[in-house]
Amino acid sequence: MAAQHREPPVNTAWCVITGPPSAGKTTLIEALAARGHRVVPETARAHIAELGVTPAEIAADAALQARIQHGIAARQHRIEQALDPQEPLFLDRALPDSIAYFEQLALETGHLVAGARRRYRRVFYLEGLALQADGLRFEDAGAAQALGEAILGAYRRLGYVPERVPTCLENDVARAVAARLSIVLSRDP
């Protein structure tokens, strides 16, 4: 482990789309993909879906939550290790997000901090929207907001200055997504 601390960070051409649960990250990632950008879908979503557990089961079992978070972090680490650091792409969440989730569960984060040696080109933090039940989320609105703040804190402690992307509330979802897409692409030409 000591060698990892001495190795210089690996700079990447990657941008992270992050934020609290139900912020519209996946919708924005899908819009980026539709415009031809390389994207990496959210690891947590795939991991939880594969487990076949309900939000109620997750909410009721802290040990299950811990196992889920360890699985998500390990999977995210493997994915990021396999990516070409010089290939421009957008990640739907990244390894530092796991730090916030671990902290919420009072789990040890040292290995995550040591593993977060990749330096993302940009971190975009989407402001939260109204919490939507999706069959995977178990957080309530208060927990989602607290997670969002913890995520911001995790990135900041790693030296990032996340760029906030407002909710862009519009009467029409397509226009709101287009507005957020425009913001992200204007800041990351």
Q: What is the pLDDT of residues 91-123, one digit of tens each?
A: 999 999 999 999 999 999 988 888 777 789 999
Cα–Cα nearest to 66, from 42, 92, 94, 101: 101
With beta carbons less than 8 A apart as the criterion, state whether 137 and 131 touch: yes
Domain-embedded: residue 4? no
Domain-embedded: residue 58? yes
Domain-embedded: residue 155? yes
Domain-embedded: residue 141? no
With beta carbons less than 8 A apart as the criterion, state whether 158 and 117 touch: no
Domain-embedded: residue 44? yes
Helices (H) and strands (E) in the chain, counts: 9, 7
Q: Identify the helix (H) or strand (E) that includes residue 43.
A: helix 43-51
Q: How confident is the model over 17-35, as a mean pLDDT?
A: 93
Query: pLDDT exceeding 90 applies to what percent of the chain?
Result: 57
Per this entry, what is the length of the chain? 189
- Say if residue 133's pLDDT is above 70: no
In the prediction, which pLDDT does 3 show? 44
Domain-embedded: residue 144? no
Domain-embedded: residue 2? no
Q: How confident is the model over 10-29, as a mean pLDDT?
A: 92
* CATH at residue 24: 3.40.50.300
- Say if residue 5's pLDDT is above 60: no
Residues of the domain holding 52:
12-133+149-187
- Say how many CA atoms lie within 13 Å of 129 toward its Cβ: 20
Q: State how far the Cα of 95 lies from the Cα of 9, in Å rounded to an integer.
A: 14
With beta carbons less than 8 A apart as the criterion, state whether 28 and 187 touch: no
Number of domains in the chain: 1
In the prediction, which pLDDT does 120 show? 95
Query: pLDDT exceeding 70 applies to what percent of the chain?
Result: 87
With beta carbons less than 8 A apart as the criterion, state whether 56 and 82 touch: no
Give the residue, 58 or 31, on which the prediction is more confident.
31
Q: State how far the Cα of 127 lies from the Cα of 23, in Å rounded to an integer.
A: 6
Q: State how far the Cα of 9 lies from the Cα of 144, in Å rounded to an integer.
A: 30
Cα–Cα nearest to 105, from 141, 69, 156, 130: 69
Domain-embedded: residue 7? no
